[in-house]
Amino acid sequence: MPTYTVKYSNFNLSQKQKNSLANDISDTHSKFTGANTFFAQVIFQKNEKNSHFMAGKLVKTKEIFLNGQIRSGRSSKVKKKLILSLRKILIKNTNLKKDFVWVYLEDLLPDQMIEYGEVLPNSGQEKKWFNSLTPRLRKRLKKMEKRK
């Protein structure tokens, strides 16, 4: 499951902004990787006041940082499109200038990840993995899947 952690400093995100960001991030991940949206989770963490430093100095500007942990196996071209789209989403939903936006992607090996209690498939093998799940879990995931 791609886990996207959104950390932000010196401003607040409304629930509406969080909902929009979570939807946009999940949809974008699905669009560029082909993975179902039920694989994407987004976690928001506001940095405490006076807890964000750069170059050893307290950050006083509004900053947002998105760290995406994704399954390895995607091409550099796909990841570049994904990372640029994620930056665009952050800018659109926060109105921050791009020099206050940070996006990192980390590749994780699928066989070193367990989600929904099962080891993840290689990229492109999601359908086979899904079909191997219990009927109860397949039903749960189908309910979560966004209709495109």
Instruction: Give the tens place of pLDDT for each residue, 108-125.
Output: 998 898 888 889 888 888
Q: What is the pLDDT of residue 122?
A: 85
Tell me the CATH number for domain 3-144.
Answer: 3.30.429.10
Average pLDDT (136-145) is 89
Q: Which helix (H) or strand (E) holds 46?
A: strand 41-46
Q: Inter-axis angle of helices 15-33 and 76-94, to 10 degrees?
A: 160
Average pLDDT (23-49) is 92
- CA separation for the pair 51, 72 (Å, rounded): 32
Average pLDDT (101-111) is 93
Q: Is the Cβ–Cβ distance between 61 and 83 less than 8 Å?
A: no
Nearest Cα residue to 1 out of 27, 34, 37: 37
Q: What pTM does this model have? A: 0.86
Q: What is the pLDDT of residue 57?
A: 96
Q: How many CB atoms lie within 10 A of CB 36?
A: 20
> Does 148 score more than 60 pLDDT?
no
> Does 61 score more than 90 pLDDT?
yes
> Does 58 score more than 90 pLDDT?
yes
Residue spans of the domains in the chain: they are: 3-144
Please, which pLDDT band fits residue 82 given cuts at 50, 70 and 90?
very high
DSSP state of 15: H
- What residues contact residue 82 under an 8 Å CB cut-off, 6+ apart? 28, 29, 32, 33, 68, 74, 105
